[in-house]
């Protein structure tokens, strides 16, 4: 059949600054569930070759469960192609960008830290920290919920990685720069105060590129070794002082190559941080925008687990992920050629009418709930248990401890065609006289 083509609206970061285009996804699921999408230039970033966009739940699962046909390794997993062959070779070393059996080898090195049992041992720490964050602002009557919640995933990530507490804000900045490079508010994030950092943290800052623009006018990839020189300098310094039992210790003991070590550190800094910084504020916004569901959640703690799953379905923290076809194949009735980019849209799959009755309805009692917000297949999110625990703890603490909680202004979205995030979410609540 003739390959359908969509306009570039589902690619452009500016589209998502206004909200995830669910109505457009619905149209495409019905008319062109697998279609070509153009990649025009965005600001200083050059145009790309275009890709196959995949919108239906069944097709998304098919792509994610067959790495022998749809590879994470060939072109890596970000929508944009790496800028150079060297950048591609570097990011290919990352667990996220590996296919079996290499992916399984890397995953085994760190997986013990993220089992359900391991996370249960952290539950009380996570719940206590969530309550402390909420109680710390309770007397003010208002806050930016994005800023309020940011410290929970950062602190837990620092704990798991063995990062000194005084350096945890570096994790926040690195994540902003990698994920938010399309957004001018995040592209050069530098919130860590050098005066409060450890000597190791201050030394790392000396390696930070002052700008992403080279003297010749070309752009430095924010996901490259050059663009994140300060993070990798810190990773190697931290390895020299590794805390026994930490995830970093597992990495150091796992026989990783230099590239594998650096990209594993990269992966945990970003994936272990940004996903929760999207999901928690997005989850609260979704609840507040559905007052009857929020009241049910607030008044009936037994709905917490199903509410977390519905939040993840309704506000997926990651919009899409890329694969590359290893051979000529057919998907959704269209011909895909070897080497073509194939991009699965988790946000669309989570609203597929054939899987979720009344999919645009937010229902915290929904069951079953076969969302793909944590992916599917061999790359199912390693940190899913930890993410669910933090999401549950923070939403529960806010609902239980901030009476009359409501929006206090318009939220501001992250400009990104990858991450479904908020930069600001003003909220307010009643305070005791």
User: So where are the chain's domains?
Assistant: 5-428
Mean pLDDT across 126-131: 96
- 44-82 pLDDT per residue, tens: 788 999 999 999 999 999 999 999 999 999 999 999 898
Residues 264, 95 contacting (CB under 8 angstroms) = yes
Is a pLDDT exceeding 80 seen at residue 9? yes
- 364-399 pLDDT per residue, tens: 999 999 999 999 999 999 999 999 999 999 999 999
pLDDT of residue 1: 46
> Which of 196, 192, 156 has its CA nearest to residue 208?
192
**If you average pLDDT over every residue of the chain, what do you get?**
92
Q: For 167, list phi and psi in degrees, rounded to 5.
A: -100, 5
> Which of 360, 116, 112, 56 has its CA nearest to residue 254?
112
Is a pLDDT exceeding 80 seen at residue 31? yes
> Which of 228, 229, 238, 173 has its CA nearest to residue 201?
238
Is a pLDDT exceeding 80 seen at residue 426? yes
Is a pLDDT exceeding 90 seen at residue 92? yes
DSSP codes joined into one string, 305-333: HHHHHHHHHHS-SB-EEEEEESS-EEETT
Mean pLDDT across 70-98: 93
d(CA 95, CA 264): 7
pLDDT of residue 433: 66
Cα-Cα-Cα-Cα dihedral sign, residues 191, 195, 199, 205? positive
pLDDT of residue 6: 67
d(CA 201, CA 174): 12
- 176-225 pLDDT per residue, tens: 888 777 777 777 778 889 999 999 999 999 998 877 667 776 677 777 88
| Range ranked top by mean pLDDT from 106-120, 176-190, 401-415 | 401-415
To which residue do tokens 């450890």 refer?
A: 198
* Percent of the chain with pLDDT strictly greater than 90: 75
- 318-371 pLDDT per residue, tens: 999 999 999 999 999 999 999 999 999 999 999 999 999 999 999 999 999 999
CA dihedral 86, 211, 166, 411 (to 10 degrees): -100
What global pTM score does this model have? 0.93
More confident residue, 353 or 277: 353
Q: How many CB atoms lie within 10 A of CB 407?
A: 15
* Percent of the chain with pLDDT strictly greater than 70: 97
For strands 48-54 and 341-345, give the pairing: parallel
Mean pLDDT across 148-176: 90
Alpha helices by DSSP H, listed for 138-257, are: 145-161, 168-179, 199-205, 229-239, 247-253
d(CA 125, CA 107): 25
5-428: CATH class: mainly alpha
Is a pLDDT exceeding 90 seen at residue 413? yes
Q: How many helices (H) and strands (E) does the chain have?
A: 17, 13
pLDDT band at 3 (very low <50, low <70, confident <90, very high): low
């Amino acid at each position: 059949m003739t390959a359908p083509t969509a306009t570039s609206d589902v690619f452009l970061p500016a589209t998502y600054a206004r909200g995830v285009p669910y109505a457009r996804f619905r149209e495409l699921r019905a008319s062109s569930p697998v279609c070509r999408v153009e990649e025009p230039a965005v600001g200083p970033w050059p145009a790309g070759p275009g890709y196959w966009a995949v919108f239906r739940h069944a097709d998304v699962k098919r792509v994610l469960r067959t790495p022998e046909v749809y590879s994470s390794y060939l072109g890596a997993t970000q929508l944009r192609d790496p800028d150079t062959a060297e950048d591609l070779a570097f990011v290919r070393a990352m667990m996220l960008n590996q296919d079996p059996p290499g992916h399984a080898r890397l995953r085994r090195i760190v997986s013990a830290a993220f089992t359900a049992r391991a996370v249960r041992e952290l539950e009380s720490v996570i719940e206590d920290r969530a309550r402390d964050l909420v109680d710390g602002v309770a007397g003010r009557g208002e806050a930016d919920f994005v800023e309020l919640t940011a410290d929970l995933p950062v602190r837990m990530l620092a704990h798991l990685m063995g990062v000194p507490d005084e350096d945890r804000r570096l994790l926040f900045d690195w994540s902003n720069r990698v994920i938010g490079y399309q957004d001018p508010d995040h592209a050069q994030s530098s919130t860590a105060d050098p005066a409060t950092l450890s000597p190791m943290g201050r030394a790392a800052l000396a390696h930070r590129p002052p700008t992403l623009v080279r003297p010749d006018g070309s752009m430095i990839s924010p996901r490259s070794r050059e663009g994140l020189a300060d993070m990798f300098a810190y990773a190697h310094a931290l390895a020299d002082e590794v805390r026994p039992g930490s995830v970093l210790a597992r990495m150091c003991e796992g026989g990783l190559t230099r590239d594998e070590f650096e990209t594993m550190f990269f992966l945990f800094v970003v994936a272990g941080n940004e996903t929760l910084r999207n999901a928690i504020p997005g989850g609260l916004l979704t609840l507040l925008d559905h007052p009857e569901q929020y009241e049910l959640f607030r008044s009936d703690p037994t709905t917490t687990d199903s509410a977390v799953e519905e939040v993840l379905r309704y506000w997926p923290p990651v919009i899409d992920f890329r694969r590359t076809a290893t051979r000529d194949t057919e998907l959704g009735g269209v011909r895909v050629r070897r080497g073509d980019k194939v991009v699965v849209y988790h946000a669309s799959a989570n609203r597929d009418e054939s899987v979720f009755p009344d999919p645009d309805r937010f229902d915290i009692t929904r069951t079953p709930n076969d969302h793909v917000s944590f992916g599917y297949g061999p790359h199912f999110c390693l940190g899913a248990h930890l993410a669910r625990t933090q999401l549950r703890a923070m939403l529960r603490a806010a609902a239980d401890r901030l009476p009359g909680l409501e929006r206090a202004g318009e939220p501001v979205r992250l400009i990104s065609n990858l991450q479904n995030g908020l930069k600001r979410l003003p909220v307010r609540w009643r305070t005791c006289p």
